Structure formats: C-alpha cells, structure tokens
Copies of this chain bind each other. A is one copy, B any other.
C-alpha cells in the first residue's frame, strides 16, 4: 500500500513500531513496517552497540531512532551536575519510597556513592552525543519524544536527509512543531502508554490533521504527514486511524508482549492479563503524567498520603532504582515485588492477550487493516 508515510520512509506498511528492544525494531523493519529504537535512556556507547546490531540484521531496510532532546529540564544551566540532582530529593520522598518498599518486603536500594552517580540523560550535551552516533548510522528517521526538537536536531535532519518526527498531544503543539520544521507529526492520544496529554486519539488525530493542513496552506506548502498513536494494537484500529486522516500509525505498547520483547517477565504476565481499565496516568515514575499499568506503586503515589511527584528527571532518580530492584525480585516470584511491578503501557493492553513473534503481529495488522477497510467500504456500497 501507499500513503505519504510509506513514500517518506520507503516502507510497505505505514506501521511504525517504537521499542527499546533491538530485536523488535529489526523484526518490524524486516516485515515491511518501520522499527524505531527508543534510546532516551541509552548512553552513547549503548546506542552505538545497538545500532551496529540492527544494521547487521536489517540488510539495509529502513529504521529510526527516538531520543529525548529536551528544551527544559531540572538542572539545566547547572552543567547537569548529577550530585546536585541527587541532593534535591527531599527526605520525605526518600522516606516515602523506603516505607513503600519495606511494606512490600522489598529492601530499599541505597543511593549510589557520589562518584558513581550517573548523569541523567536529559541534557543537551548527552542529546548531541547520541545524535552524533545516530547520524553515523543509516537511520531514516529521528524522533524527539518530548517537546519541540531543538534547532540543531532539525537542522541536522534536513542536512542529512533524515526525517525528523515529533510527538504531540494537542492541536496547538502540532502547529508549533510544524513551525519548528519537523517532517512528521505523531498525534498521540491520552490512551497511549508513556508521556501523554488528556485528549483521546479519536479526537486528537482529526484535529491535528486539520491543524497541520491549515498551517501548511498558510505557507503555500504541502502538509507534513500525521501518524496516529494511542491505543493502537490491531489492524482495525490502523484502518480507523487512516479514515481519520492519518497517513499511518505509531505503536508502542503492542510490542511489549511480543516474544522478542525484553519486558520484565512478571510485568509481561501482568500485561497479558490486564484489561483496558488497568492503566493510570500518573506522575509517579518520571515526574510528568505518564500512562502505565496500575500497581501498588502507582496507587501509593496517587494516594492521599503521597508527596507530590518531583520534576523530571529527579523523580526518576528515586523511582528507577526502586523499580529495577522490584523487577528483579518479581522475576524470582517475590509476592510484594509483583504487586509493585509496573511499566509504561497504553489502554490497548486490554487487547494484548497473547505472546506472539513481532513479525506475526505485523502480518496480522496488515490483514486486519485490509479486512476493516473492506468492511467499511461494503457498508457504503449496499
């Protein structure tokens, strides 16, 4: 099939798959879709390693990279001093986490010694290092997960012929992104996993398609393509997205229960069992509203006794070490850890009920897409 996105990226199916797992990225790309490696928390060295591996496994087929190159972040202008950030965690927050873990039989992790406090990746220096690595590989797309991509990212995309994509949750942000020069807009509804706004996919996509068309018309240009994201885990939803005016879909959650996915096993099992009502939009992991599986961790942070979440990236300094330990213990069958375990996932989790190879998911989506379009067309013809 052919849409403005299959044209732009040189793919057969307008299905983009965001995943932290290189195996998923390669499998989707090899099946005719487009894998996007989520690398926001990678070091430059890790990113290099992963992209080398992908290159060795996709035989030149197109793929992309997703980073966070933020405009603002806690500690900006302070040189990203890791020690300073750790010291900004209030005692009440440390105690809250320690008590929560202890109540579930999990021993709280110690903060790393000062000399080994890794710098959070949310700085310009880090983003530039990662961009250098990414552009040294044959990527076809670079995405910024949060906010307007910085000028240096847009300029480099243009110079090297790599499409720059950005995720938005409002019509207004879509217009700002187009004005900043992005080549592809991902309109992500509130039902998506990860950082999300409040407007649902069914409303956001036609709004953003309309806004992007208006902005283009004002400059006498062709509108950039819009991808729909949020809750999309099957081909009928892909058809719905295209009916709404999208040129393709951006997916994330559906790959977390694939055979290849590196999702913590206890969390994967929770995802397979979960209903669409089992997610929550909470600040408890990153400091910004993020949709994730409801668990004893999110319930406690959203409860009346919890301190307010800290700004990004400080909240992650307390949540990530705790939840990594939780994942390890949960894998060994630790009951309290299983109750706490959670991960980013969208409402589509209610339909993610089987563990399948990523390639099979791509093929199913293509088939379901064709069936859905034919069903709608048949209604029209009768």
Tell which of B171, B172, B236, B245 touches A206, judged by Cβ atoms closer than 8 Å.
Answer: B236
**CB proximity of A168 to chain B, nearest CB, Å:** 12
Interface check A316, CB cutoff 8 A:
no
Contact between chains at A351 and B276 (CB < 8 Å): no
Count of A interface residues, CB-CB < 8 Å: 54
Contact between chains at A239 and B376 (CB < 8 Å): yes
Complex formed: what's the CA distance from A203 to B276 in Å? 8
> Are A200 and B197 also in contact (CB < 8 A) when A240-B244, A373-B380, A380-B370 are?
no
Complex formed: what's the CA distance from A204 to B232 in Å? 11
Interface check A275, CB cutoff 8 A:
yes
**CB proximity of A92 to chain B, nearest CB, Å:** 18
Contact between chains at B202 and A276 (CB < 8 Å): no
Contact between chains at B370 and A373 (CB < 8 Å): no
Contact between chains at A201 and B200 (CB < 8 Å): yes
Question: What 0/1 pattern do residues 184 to 198 of A give for CB contact below 8 A with B?
Answer: 000001110000011
Tell which of B206, B231, B351 touches A200, judged by Cβ atoms closer than 8 Å.
Answer: B231
Interface check A298, CB cutoff 8 A:
no
Complex formed: what's the CA distance from A239 to B373 in Å? 9
216-274 of chain A: CB within 8 A of chain B = 230-232, 234, 236-237, 239-245
Complex formed: what's the CA distance from A1 to B381 in Å? 6
Q: With a CB–CB cut-off of 8 A, which chain B residues contact A369?
A: 380
Complex formed: what's the CA distance from A163 to B315 in Å? 53
Contact between chains at B244 and A372 (CB < 8 Å): yes
Q: With a CB–CB cut-off of 8 A, which chain B residues contact A172?
A: 275
Q: With a CB–CB cut-off of 8 A, which chain B residues contact A206?
A: 234, 236-237, 351
Contact between chains at A202 and B202 (CB < 8 Å): yes
Known contacts A1-B380, A203-B276; 19 additional CB pairs below 8 A are: A171-B350, A189-B200, A189-B202, A191-B199, A200-B200, A200-B202, A202-B231, A203-B351, A207-B351, A239-B244, A242-B376, A242-B379, A243-B376, A369-B380, A373-B373, A373-B376, A373-B379, A373-B380, A377-B377
Top 7 closest pairs, chain A to chain B, by CB: A240-B240, A2-B382, A239-B243, A191-B200, A200-B200, A203-B231, A243-B372
